[in-house]
Structure 1
Amino acid sequence: MGANPASIDWSHHPGLAALERLAPRMSEAPVAVAFSGGADSTALLFAAWHLWPDRVAALHVNHGLQAAAADFERHVRTMCASLGVPLWVAHPPVPLTPGDSMEEMARNARYRALAELARQAGAGEVWLAQHLHDQAETLLLALTRGAGLPGLAGMPARQQRHGITFVRPWLDVSGAELRGWLREQGVAWVEDPSNHDQRHTRNRIRHRLLPVLEDAFPAYAQTFARSARHAAQAQALLQELAEADLAAVGSPPVIQRLQALSAARQANVLRHWLRQVGARQASEAQLQQVLRQIAACTTRGHRIHLRVGRGYLLRQGQVLSYWPDEAQLPKPDNL
């Protein structure tokens, strides 16, 4: 670990005040920290341990996807033992099917594993160490992908996944300051070698683009975070509208009722409904084709049979239906 916990100077920890602000809303349940062994999660674990030494628990997920994974786990076990922090570890597989993104599937498996570990630890929340500069990277990554408001809203400070609340208390805290504090205190962490692999878009943003932005616009991270908050507020309003519109058009949606909405509201409510029925995100081209077909659906015999995400959107009588599996599609005479 390097530093003696008793000798650490907490007066300059850049993220401590943000954690202290969480105290009024905390229950008596354990404080669960997602602990990879990297710099950010190390700073978070130490801060939580300092504030609530008898309540903090560490959660570590080891997918075994890289050669250094076993070393990470050993470091995490040593660190937690030195602090007297109980550690919960999971080794979830990462199921892949053709066309899947390894990064996305590993992230989804990690969230499921963290939620299960939190339940085992008796915690209702998991704290994540993403910070101000991670949020800026996320926003830029969303822009490179042509994302809509959900992507431009960045990472939420709180979100529900798999029955557990995930909390990001440091979205306004500088990552550079967190690492600076760890160095000052002599606290060791592990560096994930994949963070320097510039085949990944996020890493190219981090190593090539962010230094240029910081040179030209020193406050870019703060202004990007503010833009993300504005986008999140706008997305919340769209979500409320989608819920109200879905209640009006029905689930599954009645085509004639959809046609009474503007194209923008049709797109908004259809995205919401498709998420509810488990569809993968429709591409912009797919959604525009759906809207064109809804507009053209003025006769009883008009057929709608479109690929959306990985499934199919069909007209069945007066409503739209979504079928995730091509093998289960109804026969034409049943549409």
Structure 2
Amino acid sequence: MTQSLDAALRAFQPALPLGVAFSGGADSTALLITCAERWPGQVVALHVNHGLQAAAADFETRCAALCAQLDVPLRVLKVDAGHASGQSPEDAARIARYKAFGALARVEYAQEAIKSIALAQHADDQVETLLLALSRGAGLRGLSAMPAQWQRDGLDFYRPLLQVSAADIRAWLAERGASFVEDPTNTDQRFTRNRIRAQLLPALEAAFPQFRDTLARSAAHAAQAQGLLDEMAAADLLTICRANDGLPMVKALQVLNVARQANALRHWLANAYSVIPSTAQLAELQQQILACTTRGHRIHIKVAQGFVERRGPVLVWYPASTSR
């Protein structure tokens, strides 16, 4: 069930000190204000300047003004969020952002490093993420949408507002008389997510008023199923990977059925290299594995920003920028 902002924050119990990802927009402004009031002296605002639009400097200035008003320390990091060939701008910005959060969190605050980071994505963001995944033909991992809690680089990340609607957040800000910045790119309907927000969400609201709750349940079911697949893949990789280097052996992969083999390969690439193969790339790789019946059979297939290659009895992945 969707919650009020205050109820969601009462249920939020992070380890302190807490970093709050703060863009200056409505959602992160509400999150920062509530966290600063609940844990005075234990909250740090983390602002990542992607430098992708002319208004970036103004966003940073307005973030600094609110942090001064709240008596909350502000840490800012400028990043290069340019995307490589074959990589989406959104993915490049996300990767740069998480690296920045890790760097900002390692700076000690009050003699203690930040332990947790809160992000301000809300219930509407969760629905948009699920619908975007559906529009791209995503599998269970994509249909799981965004987790409420996870660990990365030794930090605990949280999304405490995932059950709070965007409208409720803005109503809360209006009641408080709190100002925030509007990102002009959020209304640019050249982007699929923005078209979903502007066109599909109002239609869903009219036809299925409880759509936020029902779609969130579907995402939770997908996440649970994906967890089982991850457990199976981890168990399979213990069997099919060479013990000394964790590389999958071609002959061992050939023993698995097609679905289980695909699951194991996805898990290996994601966990060892942070690489997600496309459906076509994975199918081609599996065809080559099936056809690999002689010692001299060559496998060399583009996967994401690199290549999967057969080297002797095993498969390896390496980035395109690395010489073979």
Q: Secondary structure at the match of 2:106?
A: helix
Spell out, residue by residue over 1:193-214, the C-alpha distance to the aligned partner (whole angstroms, 9 max, x if none): 1101111111011001111111
Q: Report how far residue 324 of structure 1 moved.
A: 2.2
Match of 1:325 in 2: 320
TM-score, scaled to structure 1: 0.89
CA distance in 2, matches of 1:325, 1:101: 17
Q: Which moved more, 1:121-130 or 1:89-98?
A: 89-98
1:72 alignment partner, one of 59, 62, 86 = 59
Q: Report how far residue 306 of structure 1 moved.
A: 1.9
> Is the 1:60–1:90 contact (alpha carbons within 8 Å) kept by the matching residues of 2?
yes
TM-score, scaled to structure 2: 0.92
TM-align CA RMSD: 1.7
Q: Report how far residue 48 of structure 1 moved.
A: 0.7
Q: Report how far residue 32 of structure 1 moved.
A: 1.3
Q: Report how far residue 310 of structure 1 moved.
A: 2.6
1:42 alignment partner, one of 18, 24, 29 = 29
Match of 2:263 in 1: 268
Q: Which moved more, 1:94-103 or 1:305-314?
A: 94-103
| Residue 19 (structure 2) pairs with residue 19 (structure 1) | no
CA distance in 1, matches of 2:143, 2:282: 19
| Residue 100 (structure 2) pairs with residue 82 (structure 1) | no
CA distance in 1, matches of 2:117, 2:303: 33
| Residue 92 (structure 2) pairs with residue 105 (structure 1) | yes
Q: Report how far residue 43 of structure 1 moved.
A: 0.9
| Residue 308 (structure 2) pairs with residue 316 (structure 1) | no
| Residue 249 (structure 2) pairs with residue 254 (structure 1) | yes
1:73-222 to structure 2, matched below 5 A, reads 73-120=60-107, 121=109, 122-222=113-213
CA distance in 2, matches of 1:97, 1:90: 21
Spell out, residue by residue over 1:70-114, the C-alpha distance to the aligned partner (whole angstroms, 9 max, x if none): 211111111111111111111122244333322221221111112
> Is the 1:112–1:162 contact (alpha carbons within 8 Å) kept by the matching residues of 2?
no
Of all paired residues, the percent bearing the same amino acid is: 54
Match of 1:4 in 2: none
Stretches of structure 1 lacking an aligned partner (at least 5 in a row): 1-12, 330-335
CA distance in 1, matches of 2:320, 2:53: 33
Stretches of structure 2 lacking an aligned partner (at least 5 in a row): none
Aligned residues: 314
> For residues 67 and 327 of structure 1, do their structure 2 counterparts lie closer, same or farther at Cα, with a shift above 3 Å needed?
closer
CA distance in 1, matches of 2:52, 2:305: 26
> Is the 1:35–1:58 contact (alpha carbons within 8 Å) kept by the matching residues of 2?
yes
2:273 alignment partner, one of 258, 278, 289 = 278
Shift >6 Å, 4+ stretches: none
> For residues 87 and 323 of structure 1, do their structure 2 counterparts lie closer, same or farther at Cα, with a shift above 3 Å needed?
closer
> Is the 2:119–2:159 contact (alpha carbons within 8 Å) kept by the matching residues of 1?
yes
